[in-house]
Structure 1
Amino acid sequence: MQRKNTRQVTVGGVPIGGGAPIPVQSMTNTDTRDIDATVAQIMRMKDAGCDIVRMSIYDEACAMAIGEIKRQSGMPLVADIHFDYRLALKAIEQGIDKLRINPGNIGEPGRVRKVVSAAKERNIPIRIGVNAGSLDKKILDKYHGPTPQGMVESAMEHIAILEELNFDQIVVALKASNVCDTVESYRLMAEKRDYPLHLGVTEAGTPRAGIVKSAIGIGALLLDGIGDTLRVSLTGDVVREVETGIEILRSLGLRRQGMEIVSCPTCGRCNIDLEQIVYEVERLVGTVEAPIKVAIMGCAVNGPGEARQADVGIAGGKDKGVLFKRGQQVCAVPGDQLASRLAQEILEMTGAGSKR
């Protein structure tokens, strides 16, 4: 797939747009004023592969915590701010790497100028975030509800305010809980400006439904070549958001990171406990960071062929399995040793075994 050309901005050393690798983002759900809890959660995100972390900044104490959180975590941080320009200024003073604030909601032009001037001085990007659930009443009246066209018009109004101040370090997001509206909004926006786009289906729900909605919406846009960074929004553990975002990119070949497992759904021909083997392999080597494709297949019908397409894999048989390595059969392995032997091969091939 060919990605659309967009401008590039930098968030704490991480490039967004301009053909750069697509960063995965998430957002803390701790009380930002609780520095220890917030840093602990950010470190879990970081360990899961998160590239950029957003925090809700809703009062001065939150803003004042930014500097210490940044110092302890070492992660690129985004301040999520609504309406209060003073919090944006304080966040900038504290070393925030990016602002999520809509200039049209700040108030009088002088306030906007102050924020833009401070952001420009420190080369801090501003993300305009339009949500279907919070559109201005005049736009809702004009389009008879929260439509993709209305979301784009809202974004363009915010963009115009920044452009009039000669500010172009802009990232744009247009999110709805409805997948089709989200996709259509981004497609329309991609035709109007070349600012990098932050993808996501907002308020996607619990992992059961939210992962599906996010994968469909974000995946459809990425297949169109649209999108420069993403966040999966789920109700629950923020680490799940990161893991899902990375899996979306992996499935489209847009990120090679860690272990990718290809495993069959099983059928009556399967004579090994394939599900348990997959879980055991993930438990033993799920934290491997080097890219490696692993096939765990249940029988000899499709198993050997699928395993040969992977860096390493097994194909099950009657109480045993065959180990494949880079397309070549290596040896037969007893069924009760399949998980441990495959894990051993993965560690050796990635160099992770020597670190243990």
Structure 2
Amino acid sequence: MIQRRKSRQIMVGKVAVGGDAPITVQSMTNTKTHDVEGTMAQIRALEEAGADIVRVSCPDVESTQALKAIVQQSNVPIVADIHFHYKRAIEAAQAGAACLRINPGNIGSAARVREVVQAAKDYGCSMRIGVNAGSLEKDLMEKYGEPCPEAMVESALFHANILRDHDFHEFKISVKASDVFLTVAAYTALADAIDCPLHIGVTEAGPLRNGTIKSAIGLGNLLWAGIGDTVRVSLAADPVEEIKVGFDLLKSLGLRHRGVNIIACPSCARQGFNVIDTVAKLEERLAHIAKPMSLSIIGCVVNGPGEALYTDVGFTGGGAGSGMVYLGGKPDHKLSNDGMIDHIVELVEAHAAKL
């Protein structure tokens, strides 16, 4: 069992982050924020995929003006992403953002940060101090010569102290880098230095496959060590894929379960049906199920019965165009390969309805 790091708990809207709360999964829209209809369509898609929190960028006045309507229509808390202009943060707080994400290296002087803190206090929103290796403060770059864990942690703690000096404690911190080793080292050091919740992620991880692999390595290391209270997988892909990968990471480590966990063999010459095609179709047709359960799809009797012992529903391929259906780990009935997908979907949906 993974022992999670003890952290303070804060609220992002109605969602608890840190403490004993479940690790939350979030993503970010890539629409123009002032396009309320387009942005809301993407937020709803993220909600459907299971997103606990959604972040939107607020680079200009048009975006913060649209934020109020977005917040009112969203069923999940909205985080306003602020870069460079502290007034956008104040406007976002006034518009009802659940959380303000600021990058200390970009937002300006300590005085400006203090104004943002006051707005967060006035309008009841939390904050995220977002430190990125690619945008550290000039004085830290001069001191350390290059982005390094020490510089990132120093930046994070400096700005955390500003918040605490103003009696503001509803904040979380991220120290992201595109380099997996730098990311893990920075978060590991930060976890020992402060008790606030940590938002973890490998920033700018890359396209879907490569970015998923990098994120799995970096975030997997952190989560295994008990570090991380909320997760964002940064992919150059549909934001919905970030939510899927985030939940899959947590599911693989037993930290959180959502949806159908499909256990499937890679297939070989022994398969009694087309495993790869079947699994692809089942994954698509079962994507709407949010309740956690397990399904095994194994091509032959070598490993199929053993895997089925530990899954809610299982199917093992046999000979003569049919296989065996397992329910609750026990053989239940034979099933022809013809129509097997429809039947398995019905069985899974029926089991999920009982949960």
1:259 and 1:278 map into 2 onto residues whose CA distance is: 12
Deviation of the 1:32 alpha carbon: 0.4
- TM-score norm. by structure 1 comes to 0.95
- Deviation digits for residues 177-224 of structure 1 (CA, Å, limit 9, x no counterpart): 111111111000000000100010000000010000111111110110
1:285 and 1:107 map into 2 onto residues whose CA distance is: 47
Q: Equivalences for 1:170-181 in 2 at 5 Å? A: 170-181=171-182
Q: Report the counterpart of residue 140 of structure 1 in structure 2.
A: 141
Q: For the Cα contact (< 8 Å) 1:104–1:157, is it kept in 2?
A: no
Q: Report the counterpart of residue 81 of structure 1 in structure 2.
A: 82
Q: Report the counterpart of residue 349 of structure 1 in structure 2.
A: 351
2:27 and 2:312 map into 1 onto residues whose CA distance is: 30
Q: Report the counterpart of residue 254 of structure 1 in structure 2.
A: 255
Deviation of the 1:310 alpha carbon: 0.3
Structure 2: runs of 5+ lacking an equivalent: none
Deviation of the 1:158 alpha carbon: 1.4
Q: For the Cα contact (< 8 Å) 1:77–1:96, is it kept in 2?
A: yes
Deviation of the 1:144 alpha carbon: 2.7
Percent identity for Structure 1 against Structure 2 = 46
2:189 and 2:171 map into 1 onto residues whose CA distance is: 17
Q: Equivalences for 1:42-121 in 2 at 5 Å? A: 42-103=43-104, 105-121=106-122
Identify if the C-alpha distance between structure 1 residues 135 and 104 changes in structure 2 by more than 3 Å, giving closer, same or farther: closer
Q: For the Cα contact (< 8 Å) 2:29–2:54, is it kept in 1?
A: yes
Deviation of the 1:105 alpha carbon: 4.4
Q: For the Cα contact (< 8 Å) 1:103–1:161, is it kept in 2?
A: no
2:281 and 2:137 map into 1 onto residues whose CA distance is: 51
1:283 and 1:110 map into 2 onto residues whose CA distance is: 51
- Match of 2:168, SS state, is coil
Is 1:325 the counterpart of 2:327? The answer is yes
2:194 and 2:212 map into 1 onto residues whose CA distance is: 29
- Deviation digits for residues 254-290 of structure 1 (CA, Å, limit 9, x no counterpart): 1121111010111222121011111222233221122
Q: For the Cα contact (< 8 Å) 1:278–1:339, is it kept in 2?
A: no
2:323 and 2:242 map into 1 onto residues whose CA distance is: 34
1:148 and 1:236 map into 2 onto residues whose CA distance is: 28
Q: For the Cα contact (< 8 Å) 1:292–1:350, is it kept in 2?
A: yes
Given candidates 335, 340, 343, the residue that maps to 2:342 is 340
Q: For the Cα contact (< 8 Å) 1:81–1:88, is it kept in 2?
A: yes
2:66 and 2:124 map into 1 onto residues whose CA distance is: 21
- Match of 1:216, SS state, is helix
Return the letter of the residue paired with 1:83.
F
2:275 and 2:73 map into 1 onto residues whose CA distance is: 42
After the TM superposition, which parts of structure 1 deviate over 6 Å for at least 4 consecutive aligned residues?
none
- TM-score norm. by structure 2 comes to 0.96
